[in-house]
Amino acid sequence: MRKLAVGLTALLAVLAMFVGVGGAAAAVAPRADVAGQTFVIATDTTFAPFEYREDGELTGIDMDLIRDIAAQQGFSVEIQSLGFDAALQALQSNQVDGVIAGMSITDERQAIFDFSDPYFDSGVQMAVAEGDTTITGYDDLRGETVVAKRGSEGETFANSIKDQYGFAVKALADSATMYDDVKAGNSVAVFDDYPVLAYGINQNNGLMSVTEKEQGSSYGFAVNKGQNAELLAAFNAGLAELKSTGDYQRILDTYLEQPASASTTGFFGLLSDSMPALMKGLGLTLLATGLSILIALVLGVVFGFFKVSPFRVLRAIATTYVSIFRGTPLLVQAFFFYFGLPQLTGQSIDVLTAGVLTLSLNAGAYMTEIVRGGIQSVDPGQTEAGRSLGLGYITTMRRIVLPQAVKIMTPSFINQFVMTLKDTSLLAVIGFAELTYQGQQIYAANFRTGETLLIVAALYFVVITLLTTLSNKLDKRFNK
């Protein structure tokens, strides 16, 4: 019996050891059935060194982490650079599967999203314009305005001490804009995550830090609450593996201890370096504009005829359409079609489709009024003359009224074409990589905001001038 008891004890010990090993293994490498799948991951546009563009490609700590983890765990990722606010909205509307964007893990966000294990411990510093000796600490901020990035750890910290030190906090969308706000004197200081601030200072952003790092929250990878558990488990397993092999520390060292040096090229060097990305953005701008104008022209003609129709129902339909799309801001429409509509229908919409839908419906409403005005500006006696000759309503419109109305409408059509081309710049807020968006990506990395925007404005001016000249020549040729 004694030998039996010893044997049973040994057997139980062995079993316990295997259970413990199995449990430990499960904790380190949880099963994640993601092999072969492709996940759409949203990120910020301007949060160097975590995500930024270098030679036109997204790079940074977050990008290296998610790509290395994906390769290690056997799944693929499609990165969408949307901006922080837009990335969170895209996740909530199920346009993307996850977000990695230097996102602090907070109690409020944990009520909406599921977070991975922390992958970076953040902190906040304050900086002022280079050479400013009036602000050396928080005590000097009384009665002043500071700036922080909307939704960031810097904004949270600044708001937590503003009453104590008597300053106001202004929130902006990205780091480059914040830094420019301080340099322009609109704000006396900026609160930002310390690695982001250090990267910007190394890039000669015109600021200098004046405080020590304040302890902040940790960053995490996020998915919607109760969704994509396998993806979250795969991220945690991959992160643990990267830490155990030393690759995690290597990634951090690459961007934090050896940050990229500031560009020393002159204006023409910047122009040369930026042109490939800007040309890509210009191509998408012209594509979206062309598609939108064609659809808007069809909508304008159809609803324009509805507006002058003798049938009250058709007039009511056209009036409702015009009132909705002329009476709401274009940005609201863009957010609705890209974020709101997928939530209502359960079907995702790609950014080009959402952009074209927004521009075409908006421009179509204005073209409807152009068509209506053109038709009604033709002398009613022309219609009466056609009818007195025995021509039907459709024939009278086609042979007599429309040829005259087209001449009246053409200048307005050209103006609407130009307006639609410029309106494409607003689609940058939903991550459409048109010309303005590409410019934002460039100055977010090099902090040469003024020069970059000058190049972008010049490209818009040249293209619009050429298209306007061509349109006017076609107008003179066909409407002699």
Which residue in 359, 367, 354, 356 sits closest to 414, CA to CA?
Answer: 367
Report if residue 17 sits inside a domain: no
Question: Tell me, what's the pLDDT at 297?
Answer: 93
Judge if 456 and 398 occupy the same domain: yes
120-129 vs 207-209, strand pairing mode: antiparallel
Residues of the domain holding 208: 120-218
Based on the domain organization, do 246 and 232 belong to the same domain? yes
Which pLDDT score, from 0 to 100, does residue 259 have?
Answer: 53
Integer CA distances (angstroms), 206 to 158, 210, 420, 441, in order: 21, 13, 36, 19
Indicate whether 231 and 344 sit together in one domain. no
Separation CA 25–CA 27 (nearest Å): 5
* Residue 393 belongs to some domain of the structure: yes
Q: Is residue 459 located within the same domain as residue 446?
A: yes
Q: Could you tell me if 354 and 206 lie in one domain?
A: no
Give the pair of three-digit tokens for residue 466.
């050429």
Predicted confidence (pLDDT) per residue in 403-421, tens digit: 788 888 888 888 899 999 9
Q: Are residues 190 and 237 in the same domain?
A: no
Is residue 126 included in any domain, yes or no? yes
Q: Is residue 2 part of a domain?
A: no
Instruction: Provide the token pair at 428.
Output: 């940058």
Written as six digits, the tokens of 355 are: 């952009």
pLDDT at residue number 20: 41
Note whether 243 and 187 are same-domain residues.
Answer: no
Domain for residue 426, yes or no? yes
Q: Angle at the Cα of 88 (from 84 to 91), degrees rounded to 5?
A: 135
Instruction: Look at residue 264 in the predicted model and tell me its pLDDT.
Output: 57
Which pLDDT does position 231 carry in this prediction?
Answer: 94
Instruction: Give tens-digit pLDDT for 421-432.
Output: 999 998 988 878
Model pTM score: 0.73
The answer to whether 191 and 216 have CB atoms below 8 angstroms apart is no
Quote the pLDDT of residue 153.
84
The pLDDT assigned to 217 comes to 83
Domain assignment present for residue 303? The answer is yes
C-alpha distances out from residue 13 to 10, 18, 19, 25, 464, Å: 5, 9, 10, 18, 80
* Per-residue confidence (pLDDT) for residue 16, from 0 to 100: 41
Residues of the chain with pLDDT under 50: 1-32
Residues 402 and 343 in one domain: yes
- The total number of structural domains in the chain stands at 3
CATH number of the structural domain spanning residue 309: 1.10.3720.10
Residue 18 resides in a domain: no
Bridge partners, residue 4, by sequence: none
Same domain, 185 and 324: no
Q: Amino acid identity, residue 188?
A: V
Q: What pLDDT score was predicted for residue 448?
A: 80
Collect all residues with Cβ–Cβ distance below 8 Å to 142 and sequence separation of at least 6. Answer: 165, 166, 167
CATH of the domain at 132: 3.40.190.10
Classify residue 10: in a domain, yes or no.
no
Position 168 scores a pLDDT of: 95
